[in-house]
Chain A
Amino acid sequence: MATIQLNPKTTKKIIFSLIFLSASSLLALMFSADNPNEINKVQFSLIAVNVFSFIVFLFLVFLSAKKLIEDYKQNKLGAKLRLRMALAFGGLAIVPAIVLFFFAINFMNKGISVWSDADVEQGLNNALMLGRSALDEKIQQGLFETSNLALGLTGIESIDQQLQQLVKTSNAEQLVVLDSDLQVLSSSSDQINRLNPRMPTRLEIEQANLKQSWTSLDSTPNGSYLIRVLVPVLSFSSNQKPLYLQAFFSVDPKLSMMADSVEETYARYGRLSFMKTPIQYSYVLTLAIVVLLALLLAIYGSIEFAERLVKPIEALEKQTGPAKNKIRLPETKDESDEITALVQSFIQAQKEAAWSDVAKRMAHEINNPLTPIQLSAERIKKRYSSVFKGEDLDFITHSTETIVNQVEVLRGMVNAFGKFAEEPTLKIESFNIISVIKESIGLYSKKDNKKIFRLNLHSESCTVQADEQKLRQVFNNLIKNALDATVKGSSPAINIKTNKMEINNRPCIELTISDNGKGFEPNIVGNAFEPYVTTKTKGKGLGLAIVKHIIEEHMGHIELQNRDKQGASVVITLPLFQPKKG
Chain B
Amino acid sequence: MYRIKTIIIFLAANLFFAFSTTTNSETGKGHSYLDTGVYYSDIEIPLSFEKEQIKALESGIVFNLELRFQIIDVRNWRLDRNIGALTQIYTIEFNAFTRRYSVTNNNTGWQVSMSTINEVSSYLSKIKKLPLVDDSLLSLEANYRVFLDSGLRARDVSRWIKTLSFWREGLDSDLEQIQWQLFN
Interface residues of A (CB under 8 A from B): 37, 40-41, 43-44, 47, 128, 131-132, 196, 198-199, 201, 203-204, 216-221, 225, 259-260, 262-263, 266-271, 273-275, 277-279, 281-282, 285
Do A268 and B60 have beta carbons less than 8 Å apart? Answer: yes
Known A196-B111, A274-B59; 16 more pairs at CB < 8 Å:
A43-B160, A43-B161, A128-B96, A128-B97, A203-B115, A203-B119, A219-B95, A220-B111, A259-B97, A262-B97, A263-B95, A273-B59, A274-B56, A275-B161, A277-B165, A282-B160
Do A263 and B97 have beta carbons less than 8 Å apart? Answer: yes
Residues of B near A128 (CB, < 8 A) are 96-97
Residue among A262, A268, A281 with the highest chain B CB neighbour number at 10 A: A281
7 smallest beta-carbon distances between A and B, as pairs: A267-B60, A40-B158, A270-B59, A278-B164, A270-B60, A274-B59, A263-B97
- Give the complex CA separation of A203 and B113 in angstroms: 12
- From the candidates B59, B156, B161, name the one contacting A282 in the complex (CB within 8 A): B161
Residues of B near A277 (CB, < 8 A) are 164-165
The 27 listed contacts between A and B (C-beta, < 8 Å) are A40-B160, A132-B97, A196-B111, A198-B112, A201-B115, A203-B114, A204-B115, A216-B98, A216-B115, A218-B98, A219-B97, A219-B98, A219-B100, A225-B97, A259-B97, A262-B97, A268-B60, A270-B58, A271-B61, A274-B55, A274-B56, A274-B60, A274-B61, A275-B157, A278-B161, A279-B161, A282-B161
Residue among B111, B115, B157, B160 with the highest chain A CB neighbour number at 10 A: B160
Residues of A near B78 (CB, < 8 A) are none
Q: Return A254 CB to nearest CB of chain B, in Å.
A: 15
Q: Return B50 CB to nearest CB of chain A, in Å.
A: 14
Q: Known: A198-B113, A199-B112, A203-B115. Contact between A217 and B97, CB under 8 A?
A: yes
Give the number of chain B interface residues (Cβ < 8 Å): 31
Q: Return B101 CB to nearest CB of chain A, in Å.
A: 11
Residues of A near B111 (CB, < 8 A) are 196, 198, 220-221
Do A266 and B60 have beta carbons less than 8 Å apart? Answer: yes
- Give the complex CA separation of A427 and B39 in angstroms: 96
Residues of B near A259 (CB, < 8 A) are 97
Interface assignment of B104: CB less than 8 Å from any CB of chain A = yes
Interface assignment of B159: CB less than 8 Å from any CB of chain A = yes
A-contact 0/1 string along B157-178, CB 8 Å cutoff: 1111110110000000000000
Q: Return B92 CB to nearest CB of chain A, in Å.
A: 14
Residues of A near B162 (CB, < 8 A) are 278
Q: Known: A201-B114, A274-B60. Contact between A217 and B157, CB under 8 A?
A: no
A-contact 0/1 string along B68-100, CB 8 Å cutoff: 000000000000000000000000000111101
Interface assignment of B48: CB less than 8 Å from any CB of chain A = no
- Give the complex CA separation of A447 and B108 in angstroms: 121
- Give the complex CA separation of A274 and B156 in angstroms: 13
Q: Known: A128-B96, A131-B97, A268-B60. Contact between A218 and B113, CB under 8 A?
A: yes
- Give the complex CA separation of A41 and B155 in angstroms: 12
Residues of B near A269 (CB, < 8 A) are 60
- Give the complex CA separation of A296 and B162 in angstroms: 29
Residues of A near B114 (CB, < 8 A) are 201, 203
Do A40 and B97 have beta carbons less than 8 Å apart? Answer: no
Q: Return A494 CB to nearest CB of chain B, in Å.
A: 78
Do A281 and B95 have beta carbons less than 8 Å apart? Answer: no
Do A270 and B102 have beta carbons less than 8 Å apart? Answer: no
Interface assignment of B116: CB less than 8 Å from any CB of chain A = yes
Q: Return A338 CB to nearest CB of chain B, in Å.
A: 50
Residues of B near A216 (CB, < 8 A) are 98, 100, 113, 115
Residue on B with the closest CB to A124? B96
Residue on A with the closest CB to B114? A201
Q: Return B113 CB to nearest CB of chain A, in Å.
A: 5
Residue on B with the closest CB to A204? B115
Residues of B near A40 (CB, < 8 A) are 157-158, 160-161
- Give the complex CA separation of A221 and B95 in angstroms: 11
Residues of B near A219 (CB, < 8 A) are 95, 97-98, 100, 102, 113
Residues of B near A282 (CB, < 8 A) are 160-161, 164
A-contact 0/1 string along B93-136, CB 8 Å cutoff: 00111101010100001011111100100010000000000000
- From the candidates A44, A203, A274, name the one contacting B159 in the complex (CB within 8 A): A44
- Give the complex CA separation of A326 and B165 in angstroms: 60
Do B115 and A271 have beta carbons less than 8 Å apart? Answer: no
- From the candidates B55, B60, B98, B161, name the one contacting A225 in the complex (CB within 8 A): B98
Residues of B near A273 (CB, < 8 A) are 59
Do B116 and A203 have beta carbons less than 8 Å apart? Answer: yes
Do B100 and A218 have beta carbons less than 8 Å apart? Answer: yes
- Give the complex CA separation of A201 and B113 in angstroms: 9
Residues of B near A263 (CB, < 8 A) are 95-97
Residue on A with the closest CB to B97? A263
Residues of A near B160 (CB, < 8 A) are 40, 43-44, 47, 282
Residues of B near A204 (CB, < 8 A) are 115
Residue on B with the closest CB to A268? B60
Q: Return A139 CB to nearest CB of chain B, in Å.
A: 11
Residues of B near A41 (CB, < 8 A) are 158
Q: Return B18 CB to nearest CB of chain A, in Å.
A: 39
Residues of A near B115 (CB, < 8 A) are 201, 203-204, 216
